[in-house]
Amino acid sequence: MDHSPADWRHAEPLVDRASPMIDPFGRAVTYLRVSVTDRCDFRCTYCMAENMTFLPKKDLLTLEELDRLCSAFIAKGVRKLRLTGGEPLVRKNIMHLVRGLSRHLGSGLDELTLTTNGSQLVRHAAELADCGVRRINVSIDTLDPAKFKEITRWGELEKVLEGIRAAQAAGIGIKLNAVALKDFNEHEIPELLRFAHGEGMDLTLIETMPMGETGEDRTDQYLPLSLVRQKLEEQFTLDEIPYRTGGPARYVEVKETGGRLGFITPLTHNFCESCNRVRLTCTGTLYMCLGQDDAADLRTALRASDDDAYLSAAIDEAISRKPKGHDFIIDRNHRKPAVARHMSVTGG
């Protein structure tokens, strides 16, 4: 059951912080991304098939179990926690989990944030801010309402824009994420940039990733960000800056707008050498790399014992298998996904 008693939401983590997570390549794991649901109210063409088969609800971790797992990771050195999906805000009673996890802010956890499609923000923005969420990522690939409906299959642009305004009114900073797609939005990117910066938001561009069958040929969608950057430099002055948010984006400052522009380039220039992230699914599976299939079953460890030392040992074993990097390739010889699972399963 997803209702969470008050004592759970204020419980202290049981694991000792004496065991930080260092992978085989000397990288400290300080960033956990948690997919709280594989469900979404959109069906973006680069992320999902139109007719998705979602996990049975009985397979999902309860909110209490998600809290316990996240708390164990925080006790082991995670400083940044991002809730993802699917669409995290469609999970029933999700704000119970957000409020519960917010107890760690200032006592181990530096940031609690989420990635959302924005469709539910009007309803939840004020409470997110009250829980200490200071910034969120909103995915938006076009400012054309008809094209937005086309790429999301089910989404309404105005509803997302209303959500963004509600979040800003609540004092939450917004970063827009846009997947660069050939022959779809490549000519709109300057407009997206001006819109984001004009509204006080950063913009990050992302290369499409070969994950899961979506009914689309990714060789037709794939747009290298190296080409996007060349085109942008015909209109804008892009100055390299050292700004980092803890994720894989590399940022420039756009002289003409004064705003920041990020690039996430898993294909043209992978970011594995500095990877500090692991991803937990809503069923308790831990993926040590977004682009590899090796995973650890933490649900069994979670349910096998109330002793968090057992869970801590299972996490350590998983981190010891974190690979050096992923193997994403998109070209005419690699039409099939690099991994079979959809992005919505692992968490974007």
Residue 288 lies in a domain: yes
Q: Which residues are annotated as a binding site for [4Fe-4S] cluster?
A: 40, 44, 47, 272, 275, 289
Q: What pLDDT score does 329 carry?
A: 43
Judge whether residue 266 has pLDDT over 80. Answer: no
- Please give the residue that has the higher pLDDT: either 327 or 178: 178
Which tokens belong to 29? 């794991």
User: pTM of this prediction?
Assistant: 0.84
Q: Which residues are annotated as a binding site?
A: 33, 40, 44, 46-47, 82, 86, 115, 139, 175, 209, 272, 275, 277-279, 289
- Please give the residue that has the higher pLDDT: either 115 or 19: 115
pLDDT digits 0-9 by tens, 26-79: 989 999 999 999 989 888 777 777 777 788 888 899 999 999 999 999 999 999
Instruction: Give 262's strand partners.
Output: 204, 251
Q: Provide the 8-state DSSP code for 272.
A: G
Residue 62, Cβ density class (10 Å: 0-12 exposed, 13-18 middle, ≥19 buried): middle
Nearest alpha-carbon partner for 34 in 301, 279, 297, 289 = 279
CB 175 within 8 A of CB 204: yes
- Burial annotation 139-177 (CB, 10 A radius, 16+ → b, else e): bbbbbeeeebeebbeebebebbbbbbebbbebebebbbb
Residue 99 lies in a domain: yes
If pLDDT is split at 50, 70 and 90, which confidence band does 275 have? confident
Residue 17 lies in a domain: no
Q: Which residues are annotated as a binding site for S-adenosyl-L-methionine?
A: 46, 86, 139, 209
Q: Which amino acid is at 95?
A: M
Residue 21 lies in a domain: no
The total number of structural domains in the chain stands at 1
Q: Which range marks the domain in which residue 98 is found? A: 26-346
Q: What pLDDT score does 289 carry?
A: 85
- Quick one: how far is CA 154 from the chain centroid? 20
Residue 3 lies in a domain: no
Q: State the maximum Cα–Cα separation within the chain, in Å, rounded to a whole number.
A: 59
CB 210 within 8 A of CB 330: yes
Q: What pLDDT score does 5 carry?
A: 42
Residue 18 lies in a domain: no
Looking at residue 239, which CATH number applies to its domain?
3.20.20.70
Report which secondary-structure segment, H or E, holds 67: helix 63-75
Looking at mean pLDDT, say which of 191-205, 211-225, 239-253 comes out highest.
191-205
Grouping H, G, I as helix, E, B as strand and the rest as coil, residue 115 is strand
pLDDT digits 0-9 by tens, 134-171: 999 999 999 999 999 998 888 899 999 999 999 999 99
Residue 7, Cβ density class (10 Å: 0-12 exposed, 13-18 middle, ≥19 buried): exposed
Judge whether residue 218 has pLDDT over 60. Answer: no
Q: Which residues are annotated as a binding site for GTP?
A: 33, 82, 115, 175, 277-279
